[in-house]
Amino acid sequence: MYLKKLYSEPLGLFNSGITQNNNVVEFKNGVNFVFGKKITSNEPKESLNGIGKSTFLNLIDFCLLADFNTRTPRLYAKKEFLKQYTAVLEFELNGVDYVIKRSFAKHQEVEFGTNIFDLQTFQTKNLKLILTEKIFSNPDYEGIIKDSWYRKLMVFFLKIHKRNGQLFEEPTEYIVYGANKQVELNQYNFFFLGLNNSLICENFELISNIKEQQALIRKQKRNILENYGILKIDETANRIEFLKNEKARIQNIVDNFKLAEQHQKREDELNELTNQIKELAAQNFWDNRKVESYKESLNLPDGNIQQSTVKSIEKMYSELNRELGNVIKKTLNEALYFRKMLSESRKDFLNNEIKELELNIANRSDEIINLDLKRSSIFQLLNVNHGAIKDLQEAFTVLGDTNAELNKITEYYEEYKRLEEQENIWKRQGAELSRSIKELIEDSEELISQFKKVFNHVHNQIYPESKSSAFSIEANSRTESKVSIKVSMPSDDSKGKNSGRTLIYDLSILLNSINKGIALPRFLIHDGIFDSMDKSHFVYTYKFISRLINEGKKIQYIVTLNDDGDLTEKFGNKEGELSIDNIEKQAIVKLSSKIKFLNI
């Protein structure tokens, strides 16, 4: 994977500081300088902080599907400005050109494909799976690569500081967050080295399970100690035994109450009678409401027309036409008769309903009286034995409480022991795994030796004055990772200790992958790696990469560098290959206190 171009849609998101085309950054084979240039020689070094060198690198990372949130503060802090733009990265992979377009406004959606005019839209999480397969798939690799690893692998090649002055970590510990960090990272380091990581992945899963199990054990232990007044977990078994004895003692007391069973039956019968009375009373209540409603309906006027009204209407129409008056009279009389019959039928229906409801109410009332008498007799019987029943109730209460505590603490303790046993099983598996990993490293000695040669070669090119360095992979059963990967140099070069070791290790991984055809990115980004190192190592690094390019290798080394005067003073005159002027000419991004990267 080689980077080709970075730009925005619409153009104008950034200013690369390159006169020819400051809206587009074109990457090249070899060293790609991201250069901070002083306006005047008297300008303080601090003036080159915050001009956008790291922001440029973050933009590359954004296109390669980095998170866009508070964990990426440089870009996220400017989200209101950025949301009008889409970042575009063009790159080459296995001889095919690809394009990634990612909008800041809709950063969870990404356009991707080979034809810039016909890109497919993916959810970020889905494209990560695709890119893992495309960028990191090695058909001949015997180990494991998971499609969920995309960002964990990619960030190895993008060493970008989150804040100014941040130091480099241990070379093999390039991810600075996450539980079981070294155990997890060994999976990826083995993959980068081309070593079978199957057992290393198994170990990570095993250690993760043990950690989760230990958290559950601690929680279960707290439940027991805090809820049952136990000082030490080992005392739990004694507490359970005590509760068992106490339960047996109280049960014996209960059994000695001769009326215990009879008392319980009478209480149950009393409760049943009370429930029946409540049910019957409720039915009577609602039936009484119906009776009241029906009676109110009977008392309503029926709205009949009086006979005098009929005669009045007949007379009025007879004055106009006697025959018409007779017809009107007959019609009204028929209507009056029908209404009368209807009213009488309705009254008969309501009276029948009222009688049936009142009969049901009376029957229920009699049943309530009988049930209440029966209930009263049981109350009297219970009151006679009040003293004995009170003691029995207390015994039942204590027995119930004791039994509840016994059941709960037994449940907690059995779960605690089950969790502990599972942890011990996994630990025994871990011990067996340690032996298998030791055998794996012994069997991989040839591959490890080959990488050591590459490592020593890179070291000697960049640190020619020091001919001793060390890279080692050793089994270590005393640690959770079960493997120690060490990168060391004489006295660890106290100035820029981790920077120097990171530089050597990262370039060795890159060169080894090129030599062996391992599918990894062919670019490497180092943000400020030479800030804390002697500048001679920068010069040697530049010359080393230049020799690799002359040998026909394709490799992109993207590095941030500030104009601090050291290069000109120590390594040649103004016409030298690495004079400030020549670095400025070679730079793919050139920024200053007046020309900052983002066009805000």
Residues 267, 186 share a domain: no
Going by pLDDT thresholds of 50, 70 and 90, the confidence category of residue 572 is: very low
Q: Which residues contact 17 (CB under 8 A, 6 or more apart)?
A: 37, 587, 589, 590, 591, 592, 595
- 204, pLDDT greater than 70: yes
What's the average model confidence in pLDDT over 81-97?
A: 97
- Give the residue carrying structure tokens 């309906």: 297
528 found inside a domain:
yes
- 337, pLDDT greater than 70: no
What's the average model confidence in pLDDT over 427-443?
A: 94
- How many CA atoms within 13 Å lie on the side-chain side of 439? 8
Instruction: Report the amino acid identity of residue 556.
Output: Q
Domain boundary among 350, 369, 384: 384
Name which of 328-342, 381-395, 452-466, 567-581 the model is least confident about.
381-395
The helix or strand, by DSSP H or E, that contains position 258, with its residue range, turns out to be none
What's the average model confidence in pLDDT over 575-582?
A: 78
Residue 464: what pLDDT?
Answer: 87
Phi, psi dihedrals of residue 560, rounded to the nearest 5° = -90, 145
Going by pLDDT thresholds of 50, 70 and 90, the confidence category of residue 391 is: low
204 found inside a domain:
no
The helix or strand, by DSSP H or E, that contains position 441, with its residue range, turns out to be helix 386-443
The whole-angstrom separation of Cα 63 and Cα 56 is: 11
Residues 379, 452 share a domain: no
Instruction: Report the amino acid identity of residue 468.
Output: S
The three-state secondary structure class of 594 is coil
- 177, pLDDT greater than 80: no
- How many CA atoms within 13 Å lie on the side-chain side of 282? 6
Residues 567, 448 share a domain: yes
pLDDT tens by residue, 47-64 = 788 899 999 999 999 999
Residues 336, 192 share a domain: no
Instruction: Report the amino acid identity of residue 480.
Output: E
Residue 258: what pLDDT?
Answer: 47
Going by pLDDT thresholds of 50, 70 and 90, the confidence category of residue 271 is: confident
Q: What percent of the chain has pLDDT over 70?
A: 83
Name which of 64-68, 255-259, 412-416, 457-461 the model is least confident about.
255-259
79 found inside a domain:
yes
Cα four-point dihedral sign 11, 16, 17, 19 = negative
Name which of 45-49, 215-219, 486-490, 568-572 the model is least confident about.
568-572
- 137, pLDDT greater than 60: yes
Domain boundary among 359, 384, 409: 384
Q: Among 465, 509, 514, which residue's Cα sits nearest to residue 487?
A: 509
Question: Which carries the bigger pLDDT value, residue 273 or residue 469?
Answer: 273
Residues 489, 359 share a domain: no
What's the average model confidence in pLDDT over 284-297?
A: 81
Residue 257: what pLDDT?
Answer: 59
What's the average model confidence in pLDDT over 106-118?
A: 96
Residue 256: what pLDDT?
Answer: 64
The three-state secondary structure class of 524 is strand
Going by pLDDT thresholds of 50, 70 and 90, the confidence category of residue 384 is: very low
Are 72 and 58 in contact by the 8 Å Cβ rule? The answer is: yes
- 389, pLDDT greater than 50: no
436 found inside a domain:
no
Question: Could you list the residue range(s) of the whole structural domain that residue 292 is in?
Answer: 260-384
Name which of 2-11, 415-424, 541-550, 551-560 the model is least confident about.
415-424
Residues 479, 585 share a domain: yes
- 293, pLDDT greater than 90: no
Name which of 109-123, 260-274, 459-473 the model is least confident about.
260-274
Token readout for 40 is 């005047």
What's the average model confidence in pLDDT over 175-199?
A: 89
What is the number of domains present in the chain?
Answer: 2
Name which of 46-55, 177-186, 297-306 the model is least confident about.
297-306
Domain boundary among 367, 384, 401: 384
Residues 135, 46 share a domain: yes
Are 553 and 29 in contact by the 8 Å Cβ rule? The answer is: no
Residue 386: what pLDDT?
Answer: 43
* CATH assignment at residue 527: 3.40.50.300
Residue 508: what pLDDT?
Answer: 97
Residues 168, 47 share a domain: yes
Are 56 and 62 in contact by the 8 Å Cβ rule? The answer is: no
Q: Which residues contact 343 (CB under 8 A, 6 or more apart)?
A: 302, 304
Residues 476, 365 share a domain: no
Residues 189, 96 share a domain: yes
167 found inside a domain:
yes
Question: Which carries the bigger pLDDT value, residue 274 or residue 337?
Answer: 274
- 16, pLDDT greater than 70: yes
What's the average model confidence in pLDDT over 169-179?
A: 78
Residues 580, 449 share a domain: yes
Residue 23: what pLDDT?
Answer: 96
- 495, pLDDT greater than 70: no
Beta-bridged to residue 143, according to DSSP, are none
Token readout for 366 is 């009699």
Name which of 50-54, 311-315, 357-361 the model is least confident about.
311-315
418 found inside a domain:
no
Residues 271, 187 share a domain: no
Residue 385: what pLDDT?
Answer: 46
Going by pLDDT thresholds of 50, 70 and 90, the confidence category of residue 231 is: confident
The three-state secondary structure class of 482 is coil
510 found inside a domain:
yes
230 found inside a domain:
no
